[in-house]
Structure 1
Amino acid sequence: MKKIPAWLAVILLDAGLGLVAPSAASAAPYCGINWGSQAKSASPMVQSPITNVRSGRHACFDRLVVDLKGKAPGYTVRYAKAVYAQGSGKKIPLRGGAFLDITVKAPAYNSAGRATYAPKNPRELVDLAGYRTFRQAAWGGSFEGLTTIGLGVRATLPFRAFTLKGSNNVSMLVIDVAHRW
């Protein structure tokens, strides 16, 4: 590979264009994660009711899973200064240095209006003791086919959101948040 003349390097640096030496090794992403922290979304609105919220710890990330009976839902997952409850608009108190506002485009009730998911403790949907990134998952309610969950995390970290189709007409919305950048 041909070297850049010193006079050209000075001009490029002085012009603010930056310079990367061809032999300079760039740091590999943490655990190969390259998710970023921008909002993630998918659009389908479904009538598949939410049936459960659960979590899991992995080597490189913490995971939150929303289970539904039926088709995979649309969703919007984004960092926000605060998370607000469906219908009432009340601020959901959350622990953590950053907050993920999770909107599931699916209800937590059936066609007769009966709850399909009613958390025992709306402020603590799952036990997150010992998690590296998650601090608190709180219920924001379900109104007009939309359901909100607030997720308090340690800091603004890379995350991903996606849906999976399981067996027995079950689908899942999965949110993974990396332990670090």
Structure 2
Amino acid sequence: MRRLTTAAAALALAGAGLAGTAGVAGAAPGPVGKAASAATCSTVWGSGTKSATDSDSKPLTNIKTSQNPCYDRMVFDISGATGKLGYHVGYVDTFHQDGSGEQIPVNGGAILQVYVSAPSYDPATMKQTYAGKAGKSLPGVNVTGYKTFKDTRFGASFEGQTQVGVGVRARLPFRVLQSGDKLIVDVAHTW
């Protein structure tokens, strides 16, 4: 709340022609509406590794992406999951396929590695539930024109978890959320 109040005060001073006055930190040139929108984008998520050890062990059925004003979003659909979902998300220097250790090239300024505690197959029948192929782009996902996402690669589904590499513009703040049976990874457009 304090950040919004400070931004509003800076915008009011900027609107009064005082943007160049000392002591008005954070006043941005340009239309007030655009500055106000930028002020509402949180970048306090940090870029450190985030994880949860919980696991529902239901299979992964789909991965989708979307663009938002402040971040790009990747959603892992674990249909039928009712409890907490396990994950391990963090930046890596190189993306190596889980199990084989083979390096998989990922385009972008940084690589965000995502492990979801959900296999891409049904453990009871061994039937594939998500059509990802090692080293290939995620099926049905096109990140062309995204502000932050630059590439996606399927790593593996190994020992009950699925691995994905996301090429991003730079090492930017991200958060991990759960909504029902979906695990959500948001990567901010800026710091």
Normalised TM-score (structure 2)? 0.74
Q: Say what the alpha-carbon RMSD is for the aligned residues.
A: 2.0
Contact 1:83/1:150 (8 A) holds in 2: yes
Distance 1:32 1:121, change over 3 A: same
CA–CA separation in structure 2 for the residues paired with 1:46 and 1:67: 12
Q: Counterpart in 1 of 2:115?
A: 103
Q: Counterpart in 1 of 2:68?
A: 58
Distance 1:105 1:40, change over 3 A: same
Give the strand-richer structure, 1 or 2: 1
**2:151 is equivalent to residue 115 of structure 1:** no
CA–CA separation in structure 2 for the residues paired with 1:142 and 1:107: 6
Distance 1:24 1:176, change over 3 A: same
Q: Write the letter of the residue equivalent to 1:96.
A: G
Contact 2:43/2:190 (8 A) holds in 1: no
Contact 1:79/1:100 (8 A) holds in 2: yes
CA–CA separation in structure 1 for the residues paired with 2:80 and 2:101: 28
**Paired residues for 1:126-141 under 5 Å:** 126-141=141-156
Shift of 1:84: 1.6
Q: Counterpart in 2 of 1:19?
A: none
Give the helix-richer structure, 1 or 2: 2
Q: Write the letter of the residue equivalent to 2:93.
A: K
**Paired residues for 1:1-181 under 5 Å:** 27=26, 31-71=41-81, 72-110=84-122, 111-119=124-132, 123-125=136-138, 126-165=141-180, 171-181=181-191
Distance 1:69 1:25, change over 3 A: same
Unpaired segments ≥5 residues, structure 1: 1-22, 166-170
Contact 1:133/1:153 (8 A) holds in 2: yes
Q: Write the letter of the residue equivalent to 2:166.
A: L
Q: Write the letter of the residue equivalent to 1:132.
A: K
Normalised TM-score (structure 1)? 0.78
Number of aligned residue pairs: give it.
154
Contact 1:48/1:73 (8 A) holds in 2: no
Identity of aligned residues (%): 42
CA–CA separation in structure 2 for the residues paired with 1:120 and 1:148: 11
